[in-house]
Amino acid sequence: GAIKPPLCAAMLYTKKILSAAVALLAIDTSYSFGCSPPERLSRLLKATESGEAPIILMPCCYDGITARLVAQSGFNATFMTGFGVSGANGYPDTQLVSFNEMVLAASKVAEGLSSAALENVKFGEPDYTGQPPVAIPCIADGDTGYGNAINVKRTVFGYARTGMAGMMIEDQVAPKRCGHVAGKAVIPFDEAVQRVKAACDARDEYEALFGKGTGPLILARTDSLVTDGFEDAIQRCIAFREAGCDMTFLEAPQTVEQMKEYCQRVTGPKLANMLEYGNTPILPPSELQQMGYTIAAYPLTLLSASIKTMQESLQLIKEGKPTLDKILPFAETKDVVGFTKYAKEEDRYKC
């Protein structure tokens, strides 16, 4: 069917956002050829932690097209945001989207990343250079694990089977909500640690079944700063590390001083959540890395940019005005969604 102007406009604005951000990167993916998504993510984390690579800039995706755009723009990792998946389904981020819907979204993201990786190196085409395709790793939002500790383990396995490199697990009470809105509540300290431990155990059990480096890395998040105070949040992150998580995420620090203290007191890779208009100061990537952060995630930039541009395009349509300044040329839209590669593949297998 015809591609609607609001969709083209959203893709154009999203591409501009990603192009501006990727200019900050100095990407070398040669160390990640021929390995599993979790192993690829692990190598990225180690390279950043050691100072060999810049902080990992992680625009968050939520479906196949946003995953493709992130990969096509040259980023070396992404995150599947639950807010984005919920929003794309027409819901707020209040855990109205189910486990199965999130796993389905992860499958679509994984497929988008894989298809973009093959296209990036022209794999299977006459002018293929021989460079191995690299699908960038993705961390999936596991919310609260969708139940008790056993549900948490099933969530890890579900995401692992889709090809996710990592999974975030958090300590909110279900149904959870966005970390920057009112009404949050967290589970008790010991229960939170056991939830994280269950996720880590599932990671290790998956590796026992399918080989070293196949289990999704665990990103443990706490939202207790708002409910129980900064010191409680720090202690939870420390306990999560002791339980075996690979990365931590202290949600919604409100000052630069809190961000610095978190980085000083908690070991291992750490994620900074750069939510525009949220509660956390937005800092340049270089400053975040200097503090001790390993990952800078941009959770809603693509979703928000798309919404804004679609709203503007819809208003132009409503007013009977042209939308050409808001959208991509049709040829470029077709290329972004994969028509160019599809046509080449079609010719490749013609009798």
Tens digit of each residue's pLDDT (9 = 90 or more) over 143-185: 999 999 999 999 999 999 999 999 999 999 988 877 676 778 9
Question: Per-residue confidence at 23, pLDDT binned at 50, 70, 90?
Answer: very low
So what's the pLDDT on residue 24? 44
The CA-atom distances, in angstroms, between 170 and each of 42, 52, 216, 217, 272 are: 20, 30, 15, 14, 15
Q: What is the pLDDT of residues 219-276, one digit of tens each?
A: 999 999 999 999 999 999 999 999 999 999 999 999 999 999 999 999 999 999 999 9
pLDDT at 116 over 90: yes
Mean pLDDT, residues 31-46 taken together: 86
So what's the pLDDT on residue 22? 47
Mean pLDDT, residues 269-294 taken together: 96
So what's the pLDDT on residue 18? 61
So what's the pLDDT on residue 25? 47
Mean pLDDT, residues 275-299 taken together: 96
So what's the pLDDT on residue 121? 82
Mean pLDDT, residues 120-142 taken together: 87
Say which residue, 298 or 31, is predicted with more confidence: 298
